[in-house]
Structure 1
């Protein structure tokens, strides 16, 4: 992640509801720096849950985002629960990441396939 890079969140939406910060859209090199700044500030302001279930693209910059946010959570003496989308979870698996200090990574909930038939 290029520190000092202005970046933008044009393809990434943040919505805070109470102690939950939902992040949707694309987490890439462009959005990483501003995303870390805003999410770290939210963690400092009481956010204890990150909902990434709406993330549709997650690059290596997204992995760095999670590591940096884990450091922010640790500095605040909290553990932040992170609900991952399938895309996020798959990238974390490919990178061999099962734990991030300060974060509790949760796999996506697997919805039953309505087209699947029992016994098949």
Structure 2
């Protein structure tokens, strides 16, 4: 910690359900109102490191084969990944609280 923005967004995308790589990219774009676009190199490089660090694991669960491409790999948070994303969210919350106390977020257009 602190996590890179890409890693934090990947963890956030996986907090509510398992997703494949393209689904993670779509979720990040949607949740950031098109403010962040993650390319495949960033995504899969981050996923590889996150799996090595024990934050993510590949899921064995697959949707109905008729509804999904069998080449897709699905990812989910590990228990450790869940603890890390929560700790990072708390850390960021504290930073925002400090910024609010310093009146940095009031009256901006």
TM-score of the superposed pair, with normalisation by structure 2: 0.30
The structure whose residues are more often helix, as a share, is: 2
- Whichever of the two has the greater Rg, that structure is 2
TM-score of the superposed pair, with normalisation by structure 1: 0.28
